[in-house]
Amino acid sequence: LSYPALKRIIDTGKSDWKAALENQKAVYVLTDTKTGKLYVGSATSANGMLLQRWNNYVDNGHGGNKELRELVDAEGFGYIKENFQYSIIENFNARVDDARILQREAYWKRVLRTREFGYNAN
């Protein structure tokens, strides 16, 4: 989803999307379509599931992540709105242990090399 599409879903409270996202854990990737850089993140019960995580990105563009915050500070929130896409890599139901989600997140960071070439600082 592009930023505008994700914002529309969050703002309109589309019931089908909301129900799906608020009950899902996931590993996701944010893509900077201008540079090709990626950010891999996860949504767990500890951080409010997928709906809450993506709502955080809609609210401020960085979701509290260090490198994305630096990007917003340097380029402005408009940069995120124009150049970012949001995709689910792996989807998990609410019963899957958060530790498993974090293991999968670490796996995808290694595979996609987002620590070396993307926006993941950890």
Dump pLDDT digits (tens) for 41-90. 999 998 889 989 999 999 999 999 999 999 999 999 999 999 999 999 99
Q: In angstroms, rounded to a whole number, what is the distance separating the alpha carbons of residues 104 and 77?
A: 29
Alpha helices, H only, the chain? 3-12, 15-22, 49-60, 66-75, 77-83, 98-112, 114-117
Contact at 8 Å (CB) between 3 and 82? yes
Both structure tokens of 55: 């709502």
Mean of pLDDT values over 27-53: 95
Single out the residue of 37, 41, 23 nearest to residue 94, CA to CA.
Answer: 23
